[in-house]
Every structure is written in C-alpha cells, then in structure tokens.
C-alpha cells in the first residue's frame, strides 16, 4: 500500500513538473522565435555584422546606463526624503526620460546602419529581431490607474 502510494505521488510530481516546464517554454515571446534562431537564418557575414554593430552600440550607451542607474537612485532618494521636493523630482524624472531617449536613439541608429547593408529578405528577419516598440511599459504593461 505504501509503495503504491509513493509511486502514485512520484508520478503526479513528475507530471506536474513536466507540465510546468512546457507552460513556461518561450514565455513572453508570443509567436516570435528567439533572437539566436532568427540570426541563424541570416548569412554568417550578416549575422556577424549585426552582432558587431549591436555590441558597438551597447558600448556607446554604457555611459547612459550608468546615468540611468544614478538617476534612479537620486529619484528614490527624493521620493523617500523626509520632505518631498516636487521640483527636484520632476527635474530628475525629466533627466531620466532624456537619457533613455538618447539611449533609444543610439540603438535606432545602430539598427539603421545595419539595415542599410541588408537585402529586403534579410531586413524581414531583422524586423523580427529588433524591438519596434518605442515605449516599454514596466511590469509588462501593468496599469496603475485601474
């Protein structure tokens, strides 16, 4: 009796784990393939060009990411200060918006530089890789005004 019960429990656990693993496979990507699979559809020289250009773009924006990190800390400090300074808060938020906008613009210019050297078919693959949304919503679009 105990042996059959432990076998049953083991089977249930294994089935549960398998179903959880399959449920999370590719989560958040919708119908899109992972970027590495899409890049493998490009000729090797074009895939290398894309990777190299994105690496250079990331290096260009490294300073922006550091600024964003510092601005977030400063915004948190303003928000948690004993006395809230609305003017300072708005200034820091505006600075954060401008730095993020600058970072996005650098990325867009990197994509444009690569796309200029691709054929139409290769740009179709590129269109699946690059993020076409200009605004990213925190928490996957969670709205706080509901």
Structural contact between residues 107 and 65, judged by C-beta atoms closer than 8 angstroms: no
Closest CA to 100 of 70, 140, 68: 68
Kindly give the residue spans of alpha helices, DSSP state H, lying in 1-85. 2-24, 35-39, 44-60, 62-80
Structural contact between residues 96 and 72, judged by C-beta atoms closer than 8 angstroms: yes
Predicted local confidence at residue 145, as pLDDT: 46
Q: Which residues of the chain have pLDDT under 50?
A: 24-31, 134-140, 142-146
pLDDT in tens, 117-142: 888 988 888 888 776 654 444 444 54
> Per-domain residue ranges for the chain?
32-131
Name the pTM for this structure: 0.59
Share of the chain above pLDDT 70, in %: 64
> What is Dmax (Cα atoms) for the chain?
72
- Tell me the CATH number of domain 32-131, given options 1.20.120, 1.10.1760, 3.40.630, 3.40.50: 1.20.120
């Amino acid at each position: 009796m105990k042996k059959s019960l432990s076998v049953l429990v083991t089977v249930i656990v294994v089935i549960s784990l398998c179903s959880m693993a399959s449920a999370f496979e590719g989560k958040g990507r919708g119908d899109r393939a992972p970027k590495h699979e899409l890049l493998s559809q490009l000729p090797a020289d074009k895939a290398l060009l894309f990777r190299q250009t994105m690496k250079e773009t990331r290096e260009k924006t490294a300073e922006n990411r550091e600024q964003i990190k510092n601005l977030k800390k400063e915004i948190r400090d303003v928000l948690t200060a004993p006395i809230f300074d609305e003017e300072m808060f708005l200034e820091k938020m505006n600075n954060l918006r401008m730095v993020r906008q600058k970072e996005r613009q650098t990325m867009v210019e990197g994509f444009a530089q690569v796309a200029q050297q691709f054929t139409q078919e290769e740009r179709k693959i590129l269109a699946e890789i690059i993020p076409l949304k200009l605004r990213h919503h925190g928490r996957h679009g969670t709205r706080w005004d509901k």
